[in-house]
Chains A and B, each alone.
Chain A
Amino acid sequence: MTDAGGRPITALEAGSSLEVGALHLRPNTTYEFRLGVGQDAVTSRAAAVGFARSTSDREGNIPPFVLWYQSGVVGCSLRKERTAESPFTFRSFDEAERALAGRTLTVSVHAVERDPTGRISPMKLATGEPESIIRFPVAPRRNPAVFASNADGCLLNSQLTGEDALYVTGRNFGRGDVLEIAVVPNQRSWTVGDAIVDVTGERAQPAPKRVVVPDSGQFTVKVWDRAAQQRGTYDIIAHRVAGEKDLRVVAARDIISYLRETGFVFYLRYPVGGPTMDIAGRPLGGSPYFEFADSFADTGDPVWGAVDPTYVPAGHPGGSYAAYYVVNHKSVAQWAASNALSDVSGGIEIHPVKAGCVNGTDVIIWNAPMPVGQYDVVVDFGSVPAATAAAYATDAQYNDSVDFLDGADQIGFIVASDPYALGSQPIGQDSYSSDDFFATLGSRANVDLRAVVRYPATAAGTGTPVAPGAHPIFIIEHGNHTSCNTAGFDGNSSYDAVHTGCPSRKQNHLGYMGLLDRLASHGIIAVSIDAYDLTGFVPQLIAERSDLILKHLELWSHMNATATFTTYPDFFSGRFAGHVDMTRISVSGHSRGGEASVGAYMRNLARAVPFSINSVSSIAPVDGQSYVLPGVPYFVILPAADGDVCGLNGQRIYDRAGTALPTPDATTKSGIDVYGASHNFFNTIWAADGDDGAAGRDDYIPAADQQRLGEAFVAAFVRIQLNNEAVYEDMLRGKLRFPSFAGRKIYPIRHETQHSKLESGSGALAVGSGTASVASVSSPSVHQTQAIRVGWTASGAVTYTVPAGQRDASSFEVLSFRVAQTNAASNPASGDQDFMIELVGGGHTKATFASRFGAIPRPYHHISNCTPPNQNVMTTIRVPLHSFIMNNSGVTLDNIDTLRFTFSNPSQGEIYVDDIEFSR
């Protein structure tokens, strides 16, 4: 049991949320957690005060999740008649404290029957006897708490936007405490040091409210005027002010409402206004109010459902109320075979589904924790048309003549686990080493063949058998660093030339073990190779480093099939024979190794029989060879505070990739620019040797956190390419977020093979108006591409008349562009830069704002020795084209004639823009 901050507890303070997790359960097993009040474990789900189901990981662990919100306090939304039905549901904290005083809570954990067919309704699967029972007391509330409320101090969890002012109530604070109450955008978790950015002022500007706590220790204060409210989900922070120089960051003694829980919701309601459509998604803070989505994280990422009025046929026979069902995904044939609905989300939501605006229909249809899997969403209009929730009666069937379905021919949505999480496969461990194996390798002589290996095994441990089947292979090569732990070797040219005699080699290749483990646990043979002879005070040696990767592939080919590459030994005596899928290979590297992975791909193309390398990735690569990758998926990590490759040269590899193809840029490439990340921290061995990033840099990330996010992103990319786990594409697009990188400033960079480009940096089609100016610039900042620089000093616009051959955008999914703030002083000193995007088609115009879909990065101040010191990396913002047809806008996606960026708020600024495209 933990509190909302993740700390273990032995008693629940009345009014607090109860989070539970588990250790050492059976691995990969679904469990039901039941909460009862009293000494006895509740015998049925119906008798439970709260229940949830979650699946254990490969270690048998389940991370903490919320089992009981706010000790049953639901506040003013509680109808009196419900009190009798739910005796442990309360209107106020005082009521909860009185009712729970002296009571014992009991949590029981029950294994849920497995259903390999997937045909049994999950809630009908039998549960076993409790495997674990925990009892603990309820303690009186002593610690402070804050929550959203009405003027009377009655708790609110949600409120209609603009209906009434929002108040915040605090309890149990110390007399005379000086607090600053901030309403901030909801985030997954809060840790000391997080920035506090209040949004309650005009146009979401900070306007926190100061409170001096009275003698009672309680207060209720108005924090958000009706007129300034914006739709969205929020958390509330009571920040203890530390003098005038207070930094407005979260401190240890601050109190936060909705820590890891769903935040307070400001919603909108509008008057009621082909059977398959998008339904699952996430709400947005403003127009278009909803973004449909196909992928969700299994924690902290609730699935919302909504019905876009554009989808509702005229004369639709259903009522205005319907139920949202979340069901296991079924193919078209499976739906045809059975249209029975069996909700897996813990209950259906009966809700308005016909409104003038999509946000009149949206509701959370599944809260975390959610089991990893594939799901469809059905809007079931029931047995009779319902005009109210009370009139609704489900028929528990999908009827394609009236009901709506997000699924069937495409998966409705996928729930994925954090790619940092270990998979279910036991991890085998081994290594191989042969000194001076290669008499020559390019310019070098006597080069070693050495690597460490993690692989999917039948049992965890060293040398255990390989798991049945053929497994794809991933090879990573480290970059340059010290090669010898003993002083007097590196930097001595007689050693540097030959690398002999070092009594203690630096184990640079052991710096990625976490990544190898993660991949192996998901069925991938993961190999980190030692480029010892190519490391230290040596030149770049990119060709040799590239060839070393290919040499290791030759070895693995041999260990898979001994008839190939017979000059190699089989270090493992046939253990991997037939277990390596040499048709699925991904290469990667860090720094010089990061350019070598690109080089390996390029030099492989020149081989008589090339290896089947299907993807390439680089962490903070150098770029001395100016390789131009062809159409191969590429992923690059740019550490914004890189103190070694401080020019973020990987951006140039990204920019050039695909440019030489017959159809330029017809390639998929991705990247992330990680603010605060350094060069060395991605390698655990290097991290121990010091921080190359400047001391005192912005957005500092501790080494362990940086390793975690790096492993998560590389693992996600590799699993996409080698395991076809396409759900993680949305993570690389910046649309899917996981705990392993929560709270970090990570700007996605993405380009899709299928696209239709309107702007490649020439500015040829761009027409500025008002005060907006457009200029084409070559290779701005760290880039190696053309871009346009757009500046404005008051209202202005840049308009594109879409060429006739590109006006049908109906086969694309998004309007995509790269953008960054320049170093101009006209950009906002605080707050975000933004502009409006308008699409015109069929005589109709629909607009939204760039900031709804991604932040426009401000320059990262590189305070080491780098030139230029302020670096501008263009991030990719992807605006779903559906945004422009939402709510019956009338815009015709098959005939878009005009695209316009309008600049008015902020009233001035300057940005780089490139690659404006309709894109998949």
Chain B
Amino acid sequence: MWMTSNSRGSRRAGLVLACLFAAGCPGPQVSAVAPDSPAPATPAGPRPGTVDSSAYAGTLEITSVRVRRPTPELERLAGPDFVKTAQEPLAIEVQTQKPLPTDARNTSAILLWNGERFTDTWSVRPNRLVAFLPDRSKIKDVNSVAAAWIGNEEASRSRTPLTFRAADIGK
């Protein structure tokens, strides 16, 4: 029950008005919704499904570690620049106790080698973590190896770090 003189809408408005009269125009109608009632909550539609985060829970335990020259598969992960420039390329490979997450997120598992964080650790499903060393300079006779979720290292660091002996390289 409105009309407007806006030129772009006037013809359509006239039609609407004509239809209302043809149908027997009722008197002023009050809204079924009280004018002083709150706006509806934002129509969010169905909430999106929640992503399963259980694989990121708790500490990140590891079961084995080995250090060796990268295989062709590992060289692809390390990248051509590393392969070209590394003096004595080595890959650190660690097996995790539980399978790694199956979704790609921003947080990721990292290796802690003698406490140093390797932020560019690769996660190779189902349960392998891989980091690369260009030479032996960071390898001591006896080395501590652990893993953690980046950004939450203190709470997620392996409760039982592993030990790796330099003498075991390549084994």
A residues engaging B (CB < 8 A)? Answer: 1, 3-7, 9-11, 13, 16-17, 24, 130-146, 189-194, 250-257, 259, 440, 442-445, 479-483, 490-491, 493-494, 496-498, 535-542, 591-592, 620, 622-625, 643-647, 649, 679-680, 687-695, 700, 702-705, 864-868
Contact = CB atoms under 8 A, between A and B. Distances in A.
Given A493-B124, A494-B73, A9 B35 contact: yes
A677 B89 CA distance: 43
A691 B39 contact: no
A540 B123 CA distance: 11
B50 A257 contact: no
Contacts of A24: 8
B141 interface: no
5 contacts: A138-B28, A144-B36, A252-B37, A440-B80, A539-B108
Contacts of B42: 191, 702, 704-705
Interface stretch (B61-69, B90-98, B151-159, B162-170): B151-159
B137 interface: no
Contact of A480 (B39, B56, B106): B106
Contacts of B41: 191-193
Interface residues of B, number: 62
B22 interface: no
B24 interface: no
A6 B82 CA distance: 61
B23 interface: no
A622 B125 contact: no
Contact of A592 (B2, B37, B106, B152): B106
A252 B40 contact: yes
A649 B106 CA distance: 11
A169 to B, nearest CB: 13
Given A490-B104, A695-B50, 4 more contacts: A5-B39, A140-B28, A192-B40, A537-B123
Q: Can you list the 10 inter-chain pairs with the closest CB atoms, starting with the nearest?
A: A3-B35, A702-B44, A867-B155, A143-B34, A865-B57, A443-B79, A539-B120, A497-B76, A139-B28, A624-B119
A529 B8 CA distance: 42
A145 B37 CA distance: 9
A645 B5 contact: no
Interface of B: 1-6, 8, 27-31, 33-42, 44, 47-51, 53-54, 56-58, 73, 76-82, 102-108, 110, 117, 119-125, 150-152, 155-156
Nearest to B77: A497
A620 B106 CA distance: 10
Contacts of A17: 35
Contact of B38 (A134, A259, A493, A867): A259
Contacts of A620: 106
Contact of A443 (B1, B108, B120, B151): B120
B28 A498 contact: no
A646 B37 contact: no
B150 A540 contact: yes
Contacts of B28: 11, 137-140
A11 B30 contact: yes
A540 B121 CA distance: 8
B76 A479 contact: no
Given A145-B36, A190-B38, A482-B104, A7 B31 contact: yes
Contacts of B121: 539
Nearest to A446: B80
Chain A at the B interface: mostly helix, strand, loop or mixed?
Answer: loop
Contacts of B80: 440, 445
B34 to A, nearest CB: 4
B29 A866 contact: no
B112 to A, nearest CB: 12
Contact of B36 (A143, A490, A623, A680): A143
Contact of A491 (B38, B53, B102): B102
A13 B50 CA distance: 44
A239 to B, nearest CB: 10
B76 A13 contact: no
Contacts of B125: 491, 493, 537
B53 A692 contact: yes
A4 B119 contact: no
A192 B106 contact: no
A480 B104 contact: yes
Contacts of B77: 493, 496-497
A140 B29 CA distance: 9
Contacts of A491: 102, 104, 125
A624 B117 contact: yes
B168 to A, nearest CB: 24
B53 A140 contact: no
Contacts of B58: 865
A136 B30 CA distance: 12
B30 A13 contact: yes
A620 B44 CA distance: 22
B36 A4 contact: yes
B82 to A, nearest CB: 6
B156 A867 contact: yes
A191 B39 CA distance: 5
B104 A16 contact: no
A916 B5 CA distance: 61
A693 B51 CA distance: 8
Given A445-B79, A542-B119, A864 B53 contact: yes
Contacts of A692: 50-51, 53, 105
Nearest to B125: A491
B10 to A, nearest CB: 10
A134 B51 contact: no
A197 to B, nearest CB: 15
Nearest to A864: B53
* Central interface residue in B81, B102, B151, by most chain A CB within 10 Å: B151
Contacts of B78: 443
A1 to B, nearest CB: 8
A505 to B, nearest CB: 13
B36 A256 contact: yes
Contact of A10 (B1, B6, B82, B102): B1
A190 B39 contact: yes
B105 A539 contact: no
Contacts of B51: 643, 680, 689-692
* Central interface residue in A6, A482, A625, A702, by most chain B CB within 10 Å: A702
Contacts of B73: 493-494, 497
Nearest to B45: A702
B44 A703 contact: yes
Contacts of B47: 691, 695, 700, 702
Contacts of A540: 108, 110, 119-120, 150
A479 B99 CA distance: 23
A4 B80 CA distance: 64
A539 B79 CA distance: 12
A60 to B, nearest CB: 11
A5 B151 contact: no
A130 B5 contact: yes
Contacts of A644: 105-107
B46 to A, nearest CB: 11
A251 B106 CA distance: 38
Given A133-B5, A496-B77, A254 B104 contact: no
* Central interface residue in B4, B35, B39, B57, by most chain A CB within 10 Å: B35
A439 B82 CA distance: 14
Contacts of A144: 34, 36
Contacts of B107: 622, 644-646
Contacts of B34: 143-145, 253, 255
Given A24-B8, A691-B50, A10 B29 contact: yes
A883 to B, nearest CB: 34
A133 to B, nearest CB: 4
Given A143-B36, A256-B38, A497-B76, A133 B4 contact: yes
Contacts of A1: 2
Contact of A137 (B1, B33, B82): B1
Contact of A11 (B1, B33, B57, B82): B1
Contact of A622 (B35, B39, B82, B106): B106
